[in-house]
Amino acid sequence: MSTITFLEKQKKKLENQLRVLWSQINYCEDIETSSLALSDYLFNMKKIYMDYTRNENYITLMAERTKQKIDLQLSLFLDGLDKMIQLRENYSEINVKIMELNKDNIEVDKHLRQTFALLQSVSSQTKVLAINANIEAHRLGAQGAVFKIIASEVRKLSDITNESSSNITNTTSKLTSQTSEMTQILNENSNTLINVVEELEQGKDSFVSMYQDSENIVNESMVLDDKLLAIYELIEKVNVMVEYNRASYTNVKKILREQVDLTKEMLHDFNQELGVPTNGFSLIDSTDLYKSFYKSFKEENVEQCISLIQHALEKGEEASFITTHILERTVETVGKEQIDRLVPLSEIYVNGRIIEACMDILLPLLEKDHKKENLGKVIIGNAYGDYHALGRQIISTFLRMAGFDVTDLGLSVSNEAFVEAVKEQRSNLICVSALILHTAEEVVQLRDLLDKNGLQHVKILVGGAPFNFEPRLVQKVKADAMAANGIEAIKVAKELLGLMHRKVEYK
Amino acid sequence: MNSKERLVGAVTFQPVDRVPVIPVALSQGSKLLNMDLPTYQKNGVHIANGQLKLLEQLEHDAVFGVPHVVEDLVPWGSPLTYYKNGSPTLSKTVIRKFEDIVDLKVPDPSDSLETKESLKAINILAKEVGHHTAVIGALIAPFSLPSMLMGTGPFMRLLLEEDKSGDKYLKMLLDKCRRYVVSWAKQMVEQGADIIVMADGIASETVISRRLFQKYVHPLVIETIKEIPVPVVYEAVGSTQGILDLIATTGAVVAIIDYKDNLEECKKIAQGKIAIMGNFNNIEMLYWNSIRTQLEVKKAINKAADGYGYVLSSQGPEIPYDVPFEVIETMVRATKEFGKYK
């Protein structure tokens, strides 16, 4: 090999290195920018914490206040209950006494009735005696006048005795009946009181358990407050770390710039040696290409994006460099920008169309140069019964761009077809897209069918509205993970296939 | 105050006794009637009976005369595939290429078994309970109908391409869909529907930008609502907060909002202009129990029941078939208990 050829080759390598260095500098700038955004997020998180708790164990205090109120009420309740129990006992005693009194009354009544019977008999005999005395007095004539008076008085006495004993008996009977009525009322009252006390005693248990619950809430709140504080402290640490990282990247950028200058000098030397003028055009070009491409991408200008890539390829830029440093980087940057705002599906659709159009140009070249990154085979399709293609197509495009070999089975794919494709392609990952809940639930059957076919190692990645609404659905349908958008799909697919160091549990 | 008076009052910002509650329970009637879902969905009498049974048990504030809105596609020539645990899906794409739009005939909306049965259901409900409870008819809005006729991807392409390089087929297609929607709504109204819910599946900011909504959806909705002789409830199916101010000027009386929308913020935007309805996460409801539901009801009422103009409900399209019945029961009971307007 001649020296010139050697120098030209080395020069070419240096130029490539320079492009990579510029790309690295740009990445550093991206990281610096996103670090700033990250700091803002962290600041907002801290603010939310401070606004909510004012760092005063807000939740615990509130729980403690509630507990104290319940405690006070419980004391009042228990005090009242004790009094009621005392009352119930007093009532029982009164009841016993009244019952005894009632018993005595009945006895008195009985004795009085006997006495009355005796008195009635005495009165009746006295009456007979008075009548006979009267007859005898009449028979005696004038001598019997005094005796007649006595007989008449004896009769009156008999009548009075009779009437009085009858009155006494009536009064006693009334008294006995009233006492009995009173006993009944007292009995009823006593029963009501017993029932009330019983109910209150039952209520006491739930009151006490309510108090215990409130105590548990206080304890749990203390834990929660501590956890919140721990999160807050971690946020502060992360914030510091982010700042350090930003500073580090600034330094890396500085070092890279020095490296750029050194490479430029070397290139200058090479050019001098080769006798050609130094041309900075291609060096600035890669940065400009990224900026122009990014601008056109944001403006959703497919034609301009394609034209920029074609132009770059014509100028000798490598397909692998464009894929990684221009296309993927643009998608990453746009993805980051989209975190903080609602991105309409129409925009994602257009992004996908641009990527697709660019990949149509780049993929054949990558394959030709054997530089196509192959991250593995992926099967994708809509769940059985699902006819919503858009999401699936977008994910498919993103996965292709990332270097996955994607087989798209299309709309409403039967579980059997998924399994068949997995076997045929020897794929370890199936992506299922579903817009409707009951089609999303088809994934359960897919998992079962895979397992029955000895394909337990095959992972299922799901996506679509029902999963976005309720991530627990992922677990319910026995999927391995979900992805809400294209960028996430790339990341999760890599993780599921063990292509990333960090293993994240998505369930 | 009966349900109808309450609903009308609430959505027009007038004092009413409590927040109205409308669980969008389109399929639960089949459970109450002990029949499988497809049998239920295909028969207007069953649909009406299911709704009446639901009303008898829950005493909520409106009944629905349709089992789903996918039926709107049947008269266009797309048969449905039925499932035992959810809404049917379409089994055919009507428009295969853009050129098909030119010859596409607007069908008579009642020209299918499914839509005929829905009209029957509306008729029965109107006769049975229409004097005290609002009967709701529901349909797909004209902007979203094309995505069902041709697939969302192709429609999106048509929309974006023609947005960029000028109209060719889009206007024609949207106009055909608008005529269909107006005619379908009128037929429902003739049978006794008091309210029409217009579900615009791809009109929210989840799918298109505010600019596209303003340019294509907004005028189309205005034009459509103008011709519907009863109040219209508009549902953008997805994030609504960012376009709620525009929806408020369409002539719709109520806007259904998404679970991700901030209910409090939406209420502020809508206050005095348009009532809002929502916004339980209907898929999350699968995992709720009675206590959780009660908390969600209280949360929603705290956020939105300020100055009337709020109807408690879930987001569209419906409460899934497998959501526990106690959740729906609690949703209604708790709204009655705590749904006081401030």
Contact A346 B207 (CB under 8 A): yes
Distance CA B15, CA B12 (A): 9
Residue type, B71: E
Taking residue A242's Cβ as centre, other Cβ atoms within 10 Å add up to 18
Mapped onto helix, strand or coil, the DSSP state of residue A379 is strand
Q: Do A283 and A18 contact (CB within 8 A), yes or no?
A: yes
Judging contacts by C-beta atoms under 8 Å, the chain A residues touching residue B87 are: 436, 438
The pLDDT value recorded for residue A320 is: 84
Give buried/exposed letters for A260-289 (b at 16+ CB in 10 A, else e). Answer: beebbeebeebeeeeeeeeeeeebebbeeb
Q: Do A102 and A176 contact (CB within 8 A), yes or no?
A: yes
Residues B13-31: tens digit of each pLDDT: 999 999 999 999 999 999 9
Judging contacts by C-beta atoms under 8 Å, the chain B residues touching residue A357 are: none
pLDDT (tens, 9 = 90+) of chain A, 507 residues, equals: 678 888 888 888 888 888 888 888 888 888 888 888 888 899 988 888 888 776 567 778 888 888 899 889 889 989 988 888 888 888 888 888 887 887 887 788 788 778 878 888 887 888 888 788 888 878 877 777 777 788 788 778 878 877 877 777 777 778 778 877 877 888 888 888 888 888 888 888 888 888 899 899 888 888 888 888 889 889 989 988 898 888 888 889 889 989 998 998 898 888 888 887 765 545 445 667 888 999 999 888 889 999 999 998 888 888 888 888 888 888 888 877 777 777 888 888 888 889 889 988 998 888 887 767 788 999 999 998 888 888 898 899 889 888 899 999 998 899 999 999 999 999 999 999 998 888 898 999 999 999 999 999 999 999 998 898 888 889 999 999 999 888 889 889 998 998 765 444 444
The pLDDT value recorded for residue A502 is: 45
Q: Do A398 and A429 contact (CB within 8 A), yes or no?
A: no
- Between positions 437 and 456 of A, the ones with CB within 8 A of B are 437-439, 441
Q: How many CA atoms lie within 13 A of A493 on its CB side?
A: 33
Residues B31-52: tens digit of each pLDDT: 999 999 999 999 999 999 999 9
Q: Does B338 touch chain A (CB under 8 A)?
A: no
Q: Is B200 or A272 the better-scoring residue by pLDDT?
A: B200
Of A439, A441, A472, the CB nearest to B287: A472
Distance CA B218, CA B143 (A): 10
Cα distances (Å, whole numbers) of residue A242 to A28, A45, A49, A224, A247: 13, 14, 19, 26, 9
Of A387, A469, A473, the CB nearest to B89: A387
Of A476, A471, A386, A399, the C-alpha closest to A434 is A386
Interface mutation target, options B89, B217, B282, B291, chain A, most CBs of A under 10 Å: B89
**Interface pTM (ipTM) of the complex?**
0.86
Of B89, B156, B283, the CB nearest to A390: B156
Judging contacts by C-beta atoms under 8 Å, the chain A residues touching residue B202 are: 345
Of B89, B152, B160, the CB nearest to A390: B152
Distance CA B162, CA B168 (A): 7
DSSP state of A144: G
Q: At what angle do helices B290-304 and B263-270 cross, to 10 degrees?
A: 30
The pLDDT value recorded for residue A130 is: 79
Contact A436 B90 (CB under 8 A): no
Reported confidence tier of residue B96, pLDDT bands at 50, 70, 90: very high
Contact B209 A344 (CB under 8 A): yes
Of A387, A390, A469, the CB nearest to B90: A387
Instruction: Please give the mean pLDDT across all residues of chain B.
Output: 95
Q: Does A469 touch chain B (CB under 8 A)?
A: yes
* The model's pTM: 0.76
The yes-or-no verdict on residue B224 having pLDDT over 60 is yes
Q: Does B284 touch chain A (CB under 8 A)?
A: yes
The pLDDT value recorded for residue A503 is: 44
Of B223, B271, B222, the C-alpha closest to B247 is B222
Q: How far apart are the first and last CA of chain A?
A: 59
Judging contacts by C-beta atoms under 8 Å, the chain B residues touching residue A390 are: 151-153, 156
Q: Does B259 touch chain A (CB under 8 A)?
A: yes
Q: Which residue of A has its CA nearest to B315?
A: A469
Mapped onto helix, strand or coil, the DSSP state of residue A410 is coil
The pLDDT value recorded for residue A54 is: 67
The pLDDT value recorded for residue B46 is: 97
